Amino acid sequence: MVPYYPREVDCWGVFEYSCNGPTENNPFIEQWLKAEFSCGRETICADGFYDGDGLYRIRFMPSSEGVYQFHITASFPLENMDGTFTVGAPKAGQHGPVRVADTWRLVYEDGSPYLCLGTTCYVWALQSDELVTETLKTLSQNAFTKIRFCIFPKHYAYNLHEPYSYPFVGTPMDSSVLTDQNFDAYNEHSAGNNWDFTRFNPAHFQRLERCIEALGKLGIEADLILFHPYDRWGFSCMPQEADLRYLRYVIARFSAYHNVWWSLANEYDLMKHKTLADWEKIAQVLCENDPYSHLRSIHNCFHFYDYSRPWVTHCSIQRNDLYKSAELTNQWAVHYRKPVVLDEIAYEGNIQYGWGNLTGEEMTRRFWEGALRGGYPGHGETFLHPSGILWWSHGGTLHGESPERIRFLAEILREVPEGLQPNPEASWDEVAAVSPAGTQYLYYYSFMRPGFRDFHMKGRYAVTVYDTWNRTKEDIGMYSDSFRIQLPGKPYIAIRLQKQ
């Protein structure tokens, strides 16, 4: 096949060069190709990858409009090693990768505001086609703008069946002996597996790519979990050489997608086969090989990683206290001086574990607390289901009460496009945020239920009272200087003041 590539691409779209090449022996480790792309002052080097059946690809994400030139080098002869293509304006709604701005804020690369409201579906992409389609439909109907999920399959309670595919060529252990009672004995148990860690299974990664692309069309960021401890296949305890080969392959395949984030691990501190030096090595390779510097972090179980490390772009936090979660957002932000993404503040559901049986009211409260304290809260749902399908692991349909309340919060927050930051003048018994220009104030009273609140402001304000649980808003008029707002005396009330 003569090498193929498009002559026109949208800004922040995916340019892909493809060609045929050698199939003998093991192309995954014996062959390579790479490219240099340039336009004006921008020069990007990108690695290619073998996609099976004699097909090789290189992907690139252009970040500006204009004419790009490229030059390909490879370990095998190629035709048309040089070429050009034109990059046009981004598609409507396309704003580029998410970046860090002003220490604690997340914005799109073009400067547009990004409201990060996450959810977790660990292995939704490795379920049946029907369930994947159902998950995407559910996401399209909700307010989530980020989803965390794994590249490797996951072995854990309520998730003992085999995945749709595996990342390597080989065969898994016999899973017929697994039950919800003995599953833990098989974590990181590799006996009975037969994998070739030098040969990837392209179909596994192609499936993930289709999911990343579908999320991008919905305006949802794909927070990819590179490693995790919940494993009976031996993927969590591969030798470092295999870890880094897998990492480079994943970067080559996925980094050209604008909506990718990297999470080095889910619950890194439970992975007994890896040391802090191993994680730092993985981070180093990630930084060196991702030409677009996508957002990067690592997620904890009990012990926080040192989020002040230079390679970490944002805190990815699982609460490590049974009761306190979003309430500590301010402390973490001040300590680490980075955006605080609350990737696990526990889940709404009814399973036996304390992290998976919050009420809808409590999940919603944690979202409001986290958002007004300047953080980015994340959702999850773990309701028992007759078919064993739990959103937190498999996706599908949401059954909880919090998602529609999270959508209500999103609507309110989007009315302040420049974003909110913690209000340093807030009273001790309220959670309060203010816009950077000081023109909008938002107050939240959580599970408390004041009958009124007194305000002492300078200027004239339009006042709105929200019932955040019942999703109602009431514009109650204009007030000036010192004034009293009467409240219904029930929990989950918020007040917005808009300066006139």
Please check the confidence at residue 443 and state whether its pLDDT lies above 60: yes
CB neighbour burial string for 119-152, b if at least 16 within 10 angstroms, e if fewer: bbbbbbbbbeeebbebbbebbeebbbbbbbbbbb
With H, G, I as helix, E, B as strand and everything else as coil, classify residue 364: helix
- Summarised one tens digit per residue, pLDDT across range 237-288 is 999 999 999 999 999 999 999 999 999 999 999 999 999 999 999 999 999 9
Please check the confidence at residue 63 and state whether its pLDDT lies above 80: yes
Q: Which amino acid is at 342?
A: L
pLDDT at 183: 61
Measured between alpha carbons, how far is 120 from 128 in angstroms, rounded to an integer?
A: 18
pLDDT tier at 185, thresholds 50, 70, 90: low
Residues with Cβ within 8 Å of residue 181, at least 6 apart in sequence: none
Chain centroid, CA 490 distance in Å? 34
pLDDT at 192: 78
pLDDT at 184: 63
With H, G, I as helix, E, B as strand and everything else as coil, classify residue 18: strand
Measured between alpha carbons, how far is 376 from 104 in angstroms, rounded to an integer?
A: 10
Cα dihedral value 315, 317, 323, 327, nearest 10: 20
Conformational region of residue 209, where left means phi above 0, alpha means psi within -120 to 50, and beta covers everything else: alpha
Element (H, E) at 57: strand 55-60
Tell me the DSSP string of 66-90: EEEEEEEEESS--S--EEEEEEEPP
pLDDT tier at 229, thresholds 50, 70, 90: very high
pLDDT at 187: 61
- For residues 488 and 173, the model is more confident at 488
Measured between alpha carbons, how far is 320 from 308 in angstroms, rounded to an integer?
A: 18
pLDDT at 1: 56
- Summarised one tens digit per residue, pLDDT across range 395-424 is 999 999 999 999 999 999 999 988 889 999
Tell me if 97 sits within 8 A of 114, measured CB to CB: no
- Alpha carbons within 13 angstroms on the beta-carbon side of residue 122 total 24
Cα dihedral value 268, 270, 276, 277, nearest 10: -100
pLDDT tier at 108, thresholds 50, 70, 90: very high
Residues with Cβ within 8 Å of residue 275, at least 6 apart in sequence: none
With H, G, I as helix, E, B as strand and everything else as coil, classify residue 20: strand
Which domains does the chain possess? 8-88 (2.60.40.10), 98-413 (3.20.20.80), 421-499 (2.60.40)
Q: Which two tokens stand for residue 351?
A: 């399973």
To the nearest whole number, what is the mean pLDDT of the chain?
A: 95
Please check the confidence at residue 160 and state whether its pLDDT lies above 80: yes
pLDDT at 3: 86
Q: pLDDT above 70 covers what percent of the chain? A: 96
Radius of gyration over every alpha carbon of the chain, rounded to an integer in angstroms:
24
pLDDT at 418: 84
pLDDT at 289: 98
Q: Which two tokens stand for residue 252?
A: 């080559």
Please check the confidence at residue 122 and state whether its pLDDT lies above 80: yes
pLDDT at 396: 98
At residue 74, what are phi and psi to the nearest 5 degrees? -155, 165
Please check the confidence at residue 182 and state whether its pLDDT lies above 80: no
pLDDT at 2: 67
Please check the confidence at residue 178 and state whether its pLDDT lies above 70: no
pLDDT at 417: 83
pLDDT at 176: 64
Please check the confidence at residue 181 and state whether its pLDDT lies above 80: no
- Summarised one tens digit per residue, pLDDT across range 280-322 is 999 999 999 999 999 999 999 999 999 999 999 999 999 989 8
- Total length of the chain: 500
pLDDT at 188: 57
Q: Which two tokens stand for residue 113?
A: 């505001």
- Summarised one tens digit per residue, pLDDT across range 370-395 is 999 999 999 999 999 999 999 999 99
pLDDT at 269: 97
Residue 251: which of 228, 224, 278 has the closest Cα? 224
Q: What pTM, to 2 d.p., does this model score? A: 0.96
